[in-house]
Structure formats: C-alpha cells, structure tokens
Chains A and B, each alone.
Chain A
C-alpha cells in the first residue's frame, strides 16, 4: 500500500466521521484548499520527471477525486439529516379540528329553497315569476276577483285589515296571491303564463295555520287553454316537485269565487308511517285549488271571456315544503330557531336545477 492509499483511507474515515457541515469544511480546507495537503502534493507534480508524473499524476488525481466525492456525498447526507431533523421538529397533530367552512355553516330557509325548486320547474314550462304588494286594496284582494261585497265567501278568508284612511277605505293584507293575477292582466296582454310565489296573511294561528304563510299562484290566459291543459300542468308540476315517478291525483269540483268551473286537487298518499309517501297508499291529501278564470274576472280587466280563456291555481308553499321535507309544525317555519334552521335548512351551494336535480 502506497502513501496515497493510506492517506485516502485516513481521509475517507475522517470525512465519514465528520458530525456536521463545519467539520466537513475543515477537512476540505485542510486537504483540498489552496494550501491544503493534497493541493500541495499536486503542486509537487510539476517538479517531477515525466516518468514519475506518469504514475504519481493519476494517483494524486484519484486521491483528490475520491476525497472530493466523499465530501460531496457526506454533505448531502448531512443535509438530508438536517432536513429530517427539522421535519421531525415541525410535526403537528393533524387530528386537531379545523374551523368549519362558512358555506358549511350557512343555511337557506326551506321556503326560499322550495320557491327556487318551483321556479326551476315552471321556468321549464315557459312561465315567468310575477309579484305584487302584500298590502292590498279591497278591490284587488276581493272585488276584482269576483268576491261581491258582503258575500259569505269573503268570510272564508280571516282578513287582516289596516286602519281606515281619510276616505274610510281600509287596506288589507292580501289573503291570497290572487290579486297579482289582476295586476298582471291589467299590465300585460295575453298570452300570459305566470306563477306568483309570495307571502299571504290570514288571522289564524295553530299547528297548521300561522298568521303569515306563503302561496304559489299560477295563471295561464290565452285563447285555448282549458281544464285538460290545467290538469297536465299541475300533474307534471307535482310529479317533478315531489320527485316521484308516479303520482295519482284526484280532481274534484269545488268553489272559488274567481274561477268557474272550480276544482280542488288531492294527492294519493300513504300517511300510515312517520312520513308521507306519495304514489302509494289509500289516503287522499288536499293540495291545491284551481279552475278556469271566471268570466267576471276576465271582463273586469277588459278581456272578452268569449275570446280569452285560461286557468289559475293556488297552493301553499309551506304546505308542499312540509309534505316533501317532513317538517311537522308550520309555526316553526317563522320562529328562527337556529336548531330548526340548521336541521331543515339547505346549504348555500345546493342550487335546485332540473339538470342537476331539485334536491340531492
């Protein structure tokens, strides 16, 4: 074994033993630095004869490369170790909880959600959304809808009145969304296809009645629409809304002052269990009222009932929401109990669409 071999073994052992970057650097300077031992030995090559250089040159070069390589390798190893140590020190407990996202905490009220569902369905059938004021005149709420002054039909509506004005006229809180039918027909010529979701008011309060509730009114006026079309629209709506493939509906004659003929509609369902199931069972549940727009109503807005015809319907939004989503008590809708809203409310990104499904 030559001197260089011995030196190489010695240096490689020293490099391997270096505990940190500084120790390694000390070795590098001592051996490979300008005045380092190997560098000095390399300088000696110039004084050698070509013969000597032939053997000493490669030997010294080999030594230098081996030491250089060992230092680089060791430096990487030390760096890896340092990173590993840092990473170990940086460890955290990932089972610690994170704050819930704001969008996960937020809720949309079932009424808003159901109105969006209704809107999606009727938009597909070519209907627009109409609106009107909650504080109405007696004319729009009753007279224009063919409720004669003093008629018993007015008493079916437990009306809220406002204080009488100078002329002794008292406004009412609309008892149904039907006044918007009149406002729409006054403002717009047929063909008309609108639905009117909105707040309505009756002086009544128990588990199924609250002084304020929500109705969905529909109105179609043109020169051809008839009861057969009305049945189709309502059946398609109910099937889509309740998201069931089959739904049996029963139309039976009834009475509303502003439609003639008038009908009420029941849905066949099973109410034996905790939840209402549609499309099965033997019960009939009333769900809406409808009929052909009364000739007096058409005449009142300047439409000739021998030329124009159409149909209208009304249903409780809160009621269909309860039927679909199973809330037991109407009063809770308006109580703003955070527990109820959290449970029955909808997430902000649950947008009802027909292409993505009304509910998920």
Chain B
C-alpha cells in the first residue's frame, strides 16, 4: 500500500515530521517498507533564457545565456549549450547545475565542453526528470514562474511516497483515510476525513438490475448523464503516478483514486455500451470476457460476474471488461459500488490468476457501511471533474451487516500482555479507533466498527490497545524456572542423530544438507517414486519426488563436487527419508558416501603411501562406527549379502536384527544406478536406519557391571582353514567363537587368500584365536583339547580342512 505525505495530510491534521510519521506507522503495526522522500528533485531550479544564439560549430545546437536568480553564479548569467528545438529567448524552464544528478539520463552533471564550447548546466526535459515520456523539448513553464526557486516546490514534486507492508488483517488500512485514523488514534494528529454528502439525484438509472449471485452482499448503481470524460486534473494524476498507477481518463482515475483514498473499489460502465438489464449472477461454465488488462479469460462456473445481453461485462470485485469500459467518448456513465463475499472473490481471483487492487481489498473485507457513501463520493467527484447530472440510485441485494459485540474484561489486557492498563485508558483507545464501548460490570462491551471485519474476540481488542498504547511499554519479565537444574531434554532418537553426526564427522566425513526432494528417476532408482509422494507443483522437474533414501542426493553431491575438480569426497547426511505420506512413513536415517580414495585415513597420493580406492569395507566401517556411537555395537549382529538392488550385488551387505529388521545397508553401488545418476565411481556408501535401532534398556542405577580381571595371561593360537570360495569368513569366525564360549575371547581373521595351490574354487582363511583362561594357566593337554574343539567346530560348520 503506497500513498504520499500530502495525501495523508488530506485526512490527518498533524505537525509531525515524515520520520516521526514513519516510525509511528511501523510501531502501530503498519510497517513502513520504504520511503521515497523525492530528494532527487531538490537541486533543480527554475531559470529564464535571456538569449538563445547559434553554437559556432554545430547547426543544431544553441548557445544560451540563462538567468537562474541571484543565488546562482552571483546572479550572473550562465552559458549553457542546448539542443532543444523549443529553446528560445524568454522561455522559463528547469535548470540542472553541475553536480546535479539527473535521473532520466542516470548521470551526474559536470561542466562540459560541447563542440568546443563550455556548458555550465543543462536545461531539462520532462523525461530527464522522469516526470513523463515527453522529450520533444525542454520544460516550458508559464512566464511568471519564480526564477531562482526550487522547481520541486513550484511543481509540488517533493511529496514523499510512503509504502507500507500490509498484513492480511487490517482491511481498513488499504485506504489512506484508514491509515490516518490509526495514526490519529495513536495520538499523532487529528482525523479530518469528511463523510461524503448524500446525493439524491433525479430520474431513473435507466438500466434494470437483477441480483442472483450469493457472492453479492450488496450492489449500488447510479447513472451520471452528460459527462465529458477527458484527462483527470494534474493533482489527481500526480497522486496516481506517485503510487505507481497510470492515469487513464477522469472516470477511471476517480475509481482508482477512491480505491486508495478510502479502500473502496468501484467500477464504471459506459452506459451506452450496456445492452438490456445488468445481471449480477454466477457465470456458466465456459463464459469468457476480454478484461481491462486486454486478456481473454474463460471463467470457471460459479465466478460471480456482472453481465448484460451481450454477455459478461465485468468480473465481480476483480476486474472490469474492455467492452463496456469508459473512454474519452463516454457521455453516460454507470457507477457501481458493490460488496462481495470475501472468500468467493479470493477463490475466483486465485483460479483466474488475476491480482488487482480491487481483489486485494474485497478479499480482505471492504467496509459494508461505506457502500452507498462510496457511490456518493464517486458521484461527487464525477460531477466535479466531468460535469453531468446524476440519477437516483438503485440499491439491491443488500445482506444486512450485524455489528459484532465483544466483551473485554478489564483484566484481560494485563493477563495477556503483563502490562497494566486502566479501564479508562482501554475505553479511550478503543473509542478513537471507532469501537463503541460501554461498561458492563468489570468489562467493556465493545461494538466493532464495520471496517474491522478481522476483529473477532477479546484477544483482538487486546492487540488494538497494545499497539496504540505502545508495545515498548511492555517490559520483559523472566519466565519462571521449573527446576533449579534442568535435566536431559533430548529423546534417545534426537540424541542419536547428534551422536551419529559427530561420529561420522570424526571419521573425516563432511556433513551436507540436501533437499528432501529428488527427481523421479532418482527416486525410482532407490525404491521410491510412489504417486503419493510426488509433488503436484514441484519447483523444477529434478525436484519432484520426496526422497526414499539419502543416497541419491549424496551421490549426486559427490558427482557435482567431482565435476568441480574435487573427486575425493566423503559426504554424509543425517536426515529424514519418506516411505509413505503419513507421519510414520518418515524415517530417520544416517547415510554417507565416499568417492575416489576418500577412505578414513585421508585421500589421494602421499609420500608414505597412496590411499586406495574406496570399497565396500570403508562403508561397512562407517556403519559400525555409527552403530557403536549410538550405543548399539554391531559386532554380534547378522550380516547378510547382498543389500538392496541399488547396491553392487557382490559387494554389499545388510545388517539385520532378527529375520526381518534391517538396521543398516552398505556397499558399492550398482553400475546401472550410477549411470542413471550420471556419476562415476569409485563410490561406496551406506545407510543406517536409526529408527530401527532398539532403545537402550532402562536401568535402575548407573553403576557399571563389576570388572573381573583374570590373573592369567591370554594365549593366542593361529589356525588356517581351506574352504570353498563361497564360504563366508563370518561363519568361520562364529564357529570358532562358539567352540568354547568360556575360553575363546576373540577371533580375528588375519589372512585370506586364494591360489592354484589350494585347488579350484578354494580359499584359505587364517584366524587368530585368543584364549583367556580365568582360573589357571592352561596345560598343554587343555590347549590341545580346545584347539581340537575349534577345528572340529569350524569343520562342522563350513566343511573346512585345516591346512597342514
């Protein structure tokens, strides 16, 4: 919402400065977005051309001697070179001196030489001042214009433009008069807006009116006959231009002016172009209109329109039609001042995609009590500016407005704000805002003014009192503490997110935050792409589906970095994935990828040893680190190969808790998936499904289990087994561990190799078993016995043969 200072002062009697007015607007909830104080015009002075001779070296240039008054150049004439055809002796125009910024040419003037002759300034055209497009010649003022004074003062250009950021409530502030009322209520002046005089008029409107649409809450119509519709007067044009509107003709300008002056949109029809009765009705499907913006619209069924025998003439509350619009030939005008159901206007405007000043106001709620006054105000302006004689009015379809009454207990203000306010003070503030309060017991019962449809309850009244009394009056007061020492506040899940992040970062990985949406192809490549998780209005085609996995985003990120020359990256993210569109379909996941040689020891070539390409085991180590960090060591869990389809079928695995619950997956990726994502390896990655990690058991105390230290040294024994190539090392380890649970403390695979010497499709797996006797040192016999048990156990589980 824009307006100028002088416009505001039409409604508000105040001595306050521009800065004070702006501060106050912001502090009462009408946030000032920008102020253009028009200072750019200040340096231009009115000057008279004393003589206009020929430039010695240019046919089309003149050499002027210009008088800019006693203050400029000690009253002596200035020499100025000018190319304007209308520059002549005696012309009074507008002069820019060296050092002046000229907005129309975006240049700060200096003393210049034009074709060898010095010029001490510039006589300006309207376009150079950005006043209009006129550039045929320099500004030609009446000969009595005061030479030597500021042109801006003479022309009234210094009228600051204020723009406020209107919130969706406060429809009253969509008009300058409403803004003035708020300022006056805040004590910044006296409201001087006058009610328009009622104009009765004579004779019939001459057009029948039928209202059938439920969207119409009231419709007032009048004809003014014999108007002359030329340009509107300069003061009106100036105001419209200042707020960014283009003057069109007097009748249209009047409706625009009242829209901004009073927040009261109007429409004018050229009566000569209206055929038959005006019908306020709902559009049938497929009806069309060429609107005033020169675009054709096909109206959705049920859009409220004003139509005649020719068809739709205007979209109610939103925009008029080109056909019956007023132009300079108009002599008979129909003025419409109507009231529309806000939600219907909002819906129609949204589905048509039309944003207008009228829609903006109607969908927020226009003052129902000002409908007929608006008609009278418009009539008065039409009579003033265009002449003519008014008819009587037709008022139809009026749904009565029932003013709301709200009970505001005296203590409510203090209850909500913490600041005391006397009943008298509350009554005074509400009264100046137009509320009509009276006392009933310990409360004010307030009738809400017709222009405040947003005020619904006592909390709204508290806000009104608060914003006018001043928010600054409320002093901060501590929120009482619930307990002396605040305990733990994070849930296990929240805590695990944090721990997983720090654990992965501590392994040299870098956390990213990527968009929750991916492309359809990416979603499908990772088991997603269900229609329920597709955005109806994505920001772009590659951000169309809620991600089923963190991996596509991470792999794409690694690819982008590689394309920038950073091929060795280790990236991770701890965030949500989306399996369904319900709250329990959103999962917490810690995922990561390593690319190139970005293993845990650091990437790239190095004098002490070049880092190898990343493999499935780097990803597996990351998974184990996360599980360990969140308090759920994975070394006793089942590992199954392969992982999901997007992983390499021979180089991936999943960690399971029982037969069904998958806690994590890891591995290298399937080449087809990398091709879909257009990213090259080597790449490995993982996801830990943090929701699936069981909650730790609740413990009665924090005491740790008793530590028993054995007095006897552990004994280590090595065994090498030859097995079929398909036998998993994990099974050998488990068999060895199970051979004697009391003695076997640790089993470590220290060598794996395959070679011709072992036979076809065979491999050797060597393990080191640590035996920890608890009661006494093992005898040779006992050692032999446990070794035999280990060999037998592994043999039974895997068909292994001990190598000799």
Q: Is the CB of A225 within 8 A of B536?
A: no
Q: Which one, A111, A134, A235, contacts B586 given CB within 8 A?
A: A134
Residue of A105, A254, A261 with highest tally of chain B CB at under 10 A: A261
CA distance A102 to B29 in the complex (A): 52
Q: Tell whether B208 is near chain A: CB-to-CB under 8 Å.
A: no
The segment from A11-19, A74-82, A163-171 that touches chain B is A163-171
CA distance A106 to B507 in the complex (A): 7
Residue of B nearest to A122 (CB): B489
Q: Is the CB of B561 within 8 A of A109?
A: no
Residue of B nearest to A156 (CB): B168
CB 8 Å contact bits of A251-295 with B (1 = contact, 0 = none): 111110000111110000000000000000000000000001011
State how many angstroms separate the Cβ of B348 from the closest Cβ of chain A.
Answer: 10
Q: Tell whether A112 is near chain B: CB-to-CB under 8 Å.
A: yes
Chain A neighbourhood of B512, CB < 8 A? 109, 334, 336, 341
Q: Is the CB of B471 within 8 A of A160?
A: no
Chain B neighbourhood of A211, CB < 8 A? 515, 517, 539, 543
Residue of B350, B506, B511 with highest tally of chain A CB at under 10 A: B511
Q: Is the CB of A126 within 8 A of B481?
A: yes
Residue of B477, B491, B532 with highest tally of chain A CB at under 10 A: B477
Q: Tell whether B516 is near chain A: CB-to-CB under 8 Å.
A: yes
Chain A neighbourhood of B531, CB < 8 A? 163
Q: Tell whether B161 is near chain A: CB-to-CB under 8 Å.
A: no
Known contacts A108-B511, A152-B168: does B494 contact A131 (CB below 8 Å)? yes
CA distance A227 to B151 in the complex (A): 50
Residue of B nearest to A155 (CB): B350
Chain B neighbourhood of A295, CB < 8 A? 457-459
Q: Which one, A103, A173, A204, A292, contacts B505 given CB within 8 A?
A: A103
CB 8 Å contact bits of B369-400 with A (1 = contact, 0 = none): 00000000000000000000000000000000
Chain A neighbourhood of B350, CB < 8 A? 155
Interface size counted on chain B using CB atoms at 8 A: 98
Q: Which one, A103, A155, A156, A201, contacts B506 given CB within 8 A?
A: A103
Q: Is the CB of A338 within 8 A of B463?
A: no
Q: Tell whether A315 is near chain B: CB-to-CB under 8 Å.
A: no
Q: Is the CB of A334 within 8 A of B418?
A: no
The segment from A22-30, A40-48, A342-350 that touches chain B is A342-350
Chain A neighbourhood of B607, CB < 8 A? 96-97
Known contacts A99-B602, A102-B506, A345-B511: does B561 contact A232 (CB below 8 Å)? no
Q: Which one, B31, B475, B583, contacts A254 given CB within 8 A?
A: B31
State how many angstroms separate the Cβ of A221 from the closest Cβ of chain B.
Answer: 12
Q: Tell whether A132 is near chain B: CB-to-CB under 8 Å.
A: yes
Known contacts A226-B418, A309-B415: does B505 contact A108 (CB below 8 Å)? yes
Chain B neighbourhood of A241, CB < 8 A? none
CB 8 Å contact bits of B395-421 with A (1 = contact, 0 = none): 000000000000000000001111100
CB 8 Å contact bits of B469-481 with A (1 = contact, 0 = none): 0011011111101
State how many angstroms separate the Cβ of A238 from the closest Cβ of chain B.
Answer: 12
Q: Which one, B460, B471, B535, B557, contacts A162 given CB within 8 A?
A: B535
Chain A neighbourhood of B533, CB < 8 A? 135, 162
Q: Is the CB of A264 within 8 A of B31?
A: yes
Q: Is the CB of A160 within 8 A of B537?
A: yes
Interface size counted on chain A using CB atoms at 8 A: 93
Chain B neighbourhood of A96, CB < 8 A? 607-608
Residue of A nearest to B511 (CB): A109
Q: Which one, B481, B510, B560, contacts A107 given CB within 8 A?
A: B510
Q: Is the CB of B479 within 8 A of A233?
A: yes
Q: Is the CB of A338 within 8 A of B474?
A: no
Known contacts A112-B501, A152-B363, A252-B471: does B489 contact A342 (CB below 8 Å)? no
Q: Is the CB of B419 within 8 A of A261?
A: no
Q: Tell whether A94 is near chain B: CB-to-CB under 8 Å.
A: no
Q: Tell whether A66 is near chain B: CB-to-CB under 8 Å.
A: no
Chain B neighbourhood of A160, CB < 8 A? 535-538
Q: Is the CB of A161 within 8 A of B560?
A: no
Q: Is the CB of B418 within 8 A of A338?
A: no
Q: Is the CB of B466 within 8 A of A161?
A: no
Q: Tell whether A231 is near chain B: CB-to-CB under 8 Å.
A: yes
Q: Is the CB of B31 within 8 A of A108?
A: no
* Those of A202-233 within 8 Å (CB) of chain B: 203-205, 211-212, 220, 225-229, 231-233
Q: Is the CB of B477 within 8 A of A228?
A: yes
Q: Tell whether A7 is near chain B: CB-to-CB under 8 Å.
A: no
Q: Is the CB of B417 within 8 A of A226?
A: yes
Residue of A nearest to B487 (CB): A123
State how many angstroms separate the Cβ of B523 from the closest Cβ of chain A.
Answer: 13
Q: Is the CB of B506 within 8 A of A106?
A: yes
* Those of A318-335 within 8 Å (CB) of chain B: 333-335
Q: Is the CB of B169 within 8 A of A255?
A: yes
Q: Tell whether A52 is near chain B: CB-to-CB under 8 Å.
A: no
Known contacts A106-B504, A119-B490, A255-B167: does B510 contact A345 (CB below 8 Å)? yes
Known contacts A162-B533, A255-B170, A336-B560: does B459 contact A212 (CB below 8 Å)? no
CA distance A74 to B433 in the complex (A): 111
State how many angstroms separate the Cβ of A121 from the closest Cβ of chain B.
Answer: 11
Residue of A nearest to B543 (CB): A211
* Those of B155-174 within 8 Å (CB) of chain A: 167-170
CA distance A349 to B462 in the complex (A): 48
Residue of B418, B543, B569 with highest tally of chain A CB at under 10 A: B418
CA distance A253 to B169 in the complex (A): 12
Chain B neighbourhood of A150, CB < 8 A? 343, 346-347
CA distance A40 to B536 in the complex (A): 111
User: Ordered nearest first, which 3 A-B pairs have the shortest CB separation?
Assistant: A228-B418, A253-B29, A255-B167
Report B's interface with A, CB cutoff 8 A.
26-29, 31, 167-170, 343, 346-347, 350, 363-364, 415-419, 457-460, 462-463, 466-467, 471-472, 474-479, 481-483, 486, 489-491, 494, 498, 501-517, 531-539, 543, 546, 553-554, 557, 560-561, 564, 566, 569-571, 574-576, 578, 581-583, 585-586, 600-602, 606-608
Report A's interface with B, CB cutoff 8 A.
96-97, 99-100, 102-103, 105-109, 111-112, 116, 119, 122-129, 131-135, 148-153, 155-156, 160-165, 170-171, 173, 191, 193, 199, 201, 203-205, 211-212, 220, 225-229, 231-233, 235, 251-255, 260-264, 292, 294-295, 305, 309, 333-339, 341-342, 345, 347-349, 351
Given A133-B582, A165-B581, A229-B476, 8 more pairs with CB closer than 8 A: A99-B606, A112-B513, A122-B489, A161-B535, A162-B581, A295-B457, A334-B513, A335-B560
23 contacts between A and B (CB under 8 A): A102-B506, A103-B508, A106-B505, A106-B510, A119-B489, A125-B481, A126-B482, A134-B578, A135-B582, A150-B347, A151-B346, A163-B535, A199-B575, A226-B415, A226-B416, A228-B418, A228-B476, A229-B477, A231-B474, A252-B29, A260-B463, A309-B415, A338-B571
